[in-house]
């Protein structure tokens, strides 16, 4: 736990910094690229992300979950990764023309081809990356985050300013992959074999098929909104939905990958020791919702000011979709760690059932409720998430020993903190003059809302309070506000 906490702190600052830079880039791009150009890239990216699922073939989870990794197993993993990655790259290149015709959007074709080329380079760094995560080597991962984020941000803005349009994002993605691959070459573990093998490919494939089912279903679920809206609507609506989702995901940008860091490896170690996963799931979910629910509710309330301040008036059409998307995100946050937990116990395929329910309900409600309005489509996605929640809850109770009733009681303090913080945000919004610039209104609210949130953590005795004090203690000691424990 000490190693994990130390790695989490390092990972938080590295990924948060990287995510913040990417977020700033998205703000700049919103003023350079049109909604249609961003929509074209988003539509292409969701298709390519499906390819990433088959490319990984569950290898990342296998490396983090496997109890003992021998050199022969690592060679087999390397062989599987190179084979699947290069096959998917070839398939995407060949299918790019057909996909452009299906969407009736020829501008998708060159974007997809550039993204497909990246699959040829990904295997050179993916195994090293997975091993760093397995061993909680957050310092080395932080260096990789800096390399990848820096190369992406610089190339993305430069190419966008030069008039590359949606291709700027595609080329920046490729540059990011190559830069990270070069960085991984210098951090490659000494005991990691260079030559691939297929000696243990059946073992890797057996786990990979189960992981592939859930990962493929998850990627399809994530792709459905953009694909369906792109087919029923237009690239402009996809661009607006993407911007609404980006606004809702501000908390994710800030938290970076810290909320997921080491989760599979840590849960797997707990499972291998024969311990119950329920206490870990309860605490992790409470910590996540203690921050996340308050952030989501404030995003729903202050959505107009946030979009106006960050992206400008040309994106205000995305605001009405934000409340539905925040509610969906809040429901999903309750079960955030379930897919990782079933992977940790060696049954990743269990995630497939609730994900497929989500896919079918998203498509069904999306087609049924869509009337050309982005708002109706957003509420269709929200309803689908709510309908899927009981399925995940049943799975969590049956296979992980964590009943829904126990979870609700554990998350009650998070709900109270979120409601109180949201109420404060609503009152502050009413009290501040509407004539003030949106950014000024948000900055004025920042400190009072943080104070209210912290006060509510204390009143509810939230488990997050202990972690905040633990993280703040070294700072207090350095500033002379606290005495070190002897």
CB–CB of 7/138 below 8 Å? yes
Q: How confident is the model at residue 76 (pLDDT cuts 50, 70, 90)?
A: confident
- Kindly compute the dihedral angle of the four CA atoms of residues 386, 390, 392, 396, in this order, to the nearest 10 degrees: 140
Which one has a higher pLDDT value, 382 or 58?
382
- Residue 486 has what pLDDT? 42
User: Is the pLDDT reported for residue 450 higher than 90?
Assistant: yes
Q: pLDDT of 180-207, one tens digit each?
A: 888 888 887 777 777 777 666 566 666 6
Q: pLDDT of 222-273, one tens digit each?
A: 878 888 888 888 888 888 998 899 899 887 766 655 566 556 667 777 887 8
For residues 137-153, average pLDDT: 79
Q: Cα(117)–Cα(132) distance, rounded to whole angstroms?
A: 25
For residues 449-456, average pLDDT: 96
Which one has a higher pLDDT value, 459 or 129?
459
Q: How confident is the model at residue 473 (pLDDT cuts 50, 70, 90)?
A: low
Q: How confident is the model at residue 51 (pLDDT cuts 50, 70, 90)?
A: confident
Q: pLDDT of 4-48, one tens digit each?
A: 555 555 555 555 666 677 778 888 887 888 878 888 888 888 788
Q: pLDDT of 351-363, one tens digit each?
A: 888 888 999 999 9
Q: Cα(212)–Cα(203) distance, rounded to whole angstroms?
A: 14
- Percent of the chain exceeding pLDDT 70 equals 82
Mean of pLDDT over the chain: 83
Is the alpha carbon torsion for 288, 292, 293, 294 positive or negative? Answer: positive
For residues 430-434, average pLDDT: 91
User: Is the pLDDT reported for residue 80 higher than 50?
Assistant: yes
Q: pLDDT of 280-326, one tens digit each?
A: 899 889 999 999 999 999 999 999 999 999 888 888 999 999 999 99
- Residue 13 has what pLDDT? 54
- Residue 61 has what pLDDT? 66
By CB atoms closer than 10 A (0-12, 13-18, 19+), residue 478 is exposed
Tokens of 213: 């089912």
Residues whose CB is less than 8 angstroms from the CB of residue 241 and which lie 6 or more positions away in sequence, other chains included: 225, 226, 229, 318, 321, 374, 377, 378
Q: pLDDT of 319-332, one tens digit each?
A: 999 999 999 999 99
């Amino acid at each position: 736990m000490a190693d994990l906490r130390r790695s989490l702190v390092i990972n938080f600052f590295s990924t948060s910094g990287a995510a913040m830079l990417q977020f700033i880039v998205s703000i700049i791009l919103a003023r350079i690229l049109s909604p249609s150009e961003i929509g074209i890239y988003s539509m292409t990216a969701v298709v390519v992300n499906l390819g990433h699922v088959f490319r990984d073939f569950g290898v990342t989870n296998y490396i983090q979950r496997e109890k003992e990794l021998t050199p022969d197993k690592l060679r087999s993993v390397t062989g599987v990764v190179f084979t699947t990655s290069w096959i998917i790259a070839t398939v995407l290149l060949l299918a790019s023309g057909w996909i452009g015709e299906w969407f009736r959007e020829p501008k998708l074709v060159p974007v997809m081809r550039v993204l497909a080329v990246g699959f040829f380079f990904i295997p050179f760094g993916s195994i090293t990356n997975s091993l760093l995560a397995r061993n909680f080597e957050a310092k080395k991962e932080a260096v990789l985050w800096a390399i990848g984020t820096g190369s992406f941000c610089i190339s993305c803005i430069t190419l966008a300013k030069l008039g590359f349009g949606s291709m700027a994002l595609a080329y920046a993605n490729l540059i990011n992959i190559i830069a990270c691959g070069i960085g991984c070459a210098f951090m490659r573990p000494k005991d990691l074999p260079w030559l691939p093998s297929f000696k243990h490919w059946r073992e890797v494939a057996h786990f990979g098929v189960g992981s592939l089912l859930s990962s493929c279903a998850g990627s399809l679920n994530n792709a459905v909104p953009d694909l369906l809206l792109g087919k029923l609507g237009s690239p402009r609506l996809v661009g607006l939905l993407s911007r609404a989702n980006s606004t809702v995901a501000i908390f994710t940008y800030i938290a970076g990958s810290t909320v997921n860091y080491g989760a599979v490896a840590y849960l797997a170690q707990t499972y291998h020791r024969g311990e119950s996963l329920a206490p870990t799931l309860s605490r992790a979910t409470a910590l996540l919702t203690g921050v996340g629910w308050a952030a989501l509710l404030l995003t729903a309330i202050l959505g107009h000011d946030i979009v106006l301040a960050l992206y400008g008036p040309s994106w205000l059409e995305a605001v009405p979709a934000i409340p539905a998307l925040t509610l969906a995100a809040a429901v999903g946050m309750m079960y955030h760690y379930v897919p990782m937990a079933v992977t940790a116990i060696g049954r990743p395929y269990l995630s497939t059932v609730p994900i497929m329910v989500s896919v079918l309900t998203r498509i069904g409600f999306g087609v049924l409720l869509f009337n050309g309005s982005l708002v109706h489509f957003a509420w269709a996605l929200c309803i689908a998430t709510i309908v899927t929640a009981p399925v995940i809850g049943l799975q969590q109770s049956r296979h992980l020993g964590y009943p829904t009733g126990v979870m609700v009681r554990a998350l009650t303090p998070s709900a109270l903190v979120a409601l109180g913080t949201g109420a404060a945000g609503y009152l502050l919004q009413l009290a501040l003059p509407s004539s003030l610039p949106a950014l000024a209104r948000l900055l004025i609210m920042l400190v009072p809302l943080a104070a209210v949130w912290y006060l509510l953590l204390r009143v509810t005795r939230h488990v997050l309070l202990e972690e905040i004090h633990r993280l703040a203690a070294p700072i207090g000691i350095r500033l002379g506000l606290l005495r070190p424990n002897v």
